[in-house]
Amino acid sequence: MQVHIFRGPGRVFAFTTDASGANLPTKYAPWDAFKAVELQTGVPTPGVDVDDCLHDIEVHGIHVTDAHVRITEDAIG
């Protein structure tokens, strides 16, 4: 799955399948496009827990981390 990564303030990053980032939470805006990567379940990718990321995208539409710590539910809550 192609996932677009956006950079927020500090060490906050968001992952989404939406290339525009329109579904990212305003709590950590502004968001700047960083890069796009291909993620596959069970295939390690440096800097991201792929399984957590893909699960969050499936459930919430996004995955958000702060210094590599998952904060998705806090970001959308």
Share of residues in the chain with pLDDT > 70 (%) = 100
| C-alpha R_g of the chain | 11
Judged by phi (left if over 0) then psi (alpha if -120 to 50, else beta), residue 32 lies in beta
Q: How far is 2 from 7, CA to CA, in rounded Å?
A: 17
The 10s digit of each residue's pLDDT in 5-57 is 999 999 999 999 999 999 999 999 999 999 999 999 999 999 999 999 999 99
Domain hosting residue 64, numbered range: 2-76
Task: Return the closest-CA partner of residue 57 out of 46, 72, 77, 75.
Answer: 72
Structural domains counted in the chain? 1
Q: If you ran DSSP here, which 8-state letter would residue 42 be given?
A: T
pLDDT at 77: 87
Q: In this structure, what token pair is assigned to residue 13? A: 């990053």
Mean pLDDT, to the nearest integer, of 65-70? 96
Q: What is the pLDDT of residue 41?
A: 94
